[in-house]
Amino acid sequence: MSHDATERAGAAPALTITDVAPRDGLQNQAVAISTDAKVELIRLLARAGVRSVEATSFVSPKAVPQMADASDVVQRVSRQHPALRLSTLVPNLKGLERAHAAGAAEIAVVLSATETMNQRNINMGLAAATAVSEQTLLRAAELGLRTRAYVAVAFECPFEGVVNADTVLDLACRMLEAGAGEIVIADTIGAAAPAAVKARMSMLAQAIAPDMLAVHLHDTRGLGVANAWAALEAGVRRFDASVGGIGGCPFAPGAAGNLATEDLVLMAEQCGLTTGISLDELLDAVEFAESLLGRQLGGRSSAWLRRRRERQRAAA
């Protein structure tokens, strides 16, 4: 049953949340994270009820050393959590072949919406980057893999400023035509505001089925949850988030942490939406990530959530 049919039937609207902390959250950390620790973080997310995780990326270990163990992570998590929807980022056909050899069932490509961001990120222009993403998606389909396609810097680019909505629409449609099963519109540097998010996602939903659209939000200016609500109003029900709010693109100056999964889940719960995710158990994943990175983490609601959990435990 589609989200729209579920809502018409009177059930609480459901959100699908992909936690990207194991990939986007950890990729740029100065502290080396062991494979065991990554697998444990994913286990805690799964225990909390997270059903979709972006686990790693098959990029060059020289470019992103933190992701050098991508094959091991995929193989171990796939064995331990066969029901978990496990996505891996691949930059090109070479990365795709590595992911396929490791047993990945779903891959994601990332296409930036501006010439300069692609040059800084992958050393090729927009046209070439688009072609590589299309080729990778087509090959993934031949291999029988599920696919996602990110359109990055879809609202504002750190080098070129505000991005034209028609450019985002064109790139999203090209990724769809190449076989992407989900189109993820990314506010990579956290520059969007709710009005822009609602307008852009509403426009995209006219050309792409809302069930195939997702948003990837950052909380740089404190508008992450507000932007998520704006996307909800536009009909979007798929969201990326990162437990503890960790993350930030290493190639995008000014990109702060992702929208925290716990903030998104709390907002959903208090607005009558379902996620299937336990906030208390999500806090266990936040605290584990804190132990890995050696600093306090958590979204804007984290302190309140921890106090609430302490009160509940004291009253039990």
166: burial class by Cβ within 10 Å (0-12, 13-18, 19+)?
A: exposed
User: Strands 16-19, 52-57: parallel, antiparallel or unpaired by DSSP?
Assistant: parallel
Closest to 80 in 3D by CA, of 126, 56, 46: 46
| Residue 271 annotated as catalytic | no
273 to 10, 11, 97, 166, 264: CA distances (angstroms): 12, 9, 38, 31, 10
Tokens representing 158 are 């750190």
DSSP secondary structure letters along 6-50: HHHTTPPPB-EEEE-IIIIITTT-SS---HHHHHHHHHHHHHTT-
Long-range contacts made by residues 303-309, C-beta under 8 angstroms, separation at least 24? Answer: 305/262, 305/266, 305/279, 309/280, 309/283
Rounded-to-integer distance, Cα 126 and Cα 130, Å: 6
Q: How many other C-beta atoms lie within 10 A of the C-beta of residue 104?
A: 26
Write out the catalytic residue numbers.
249
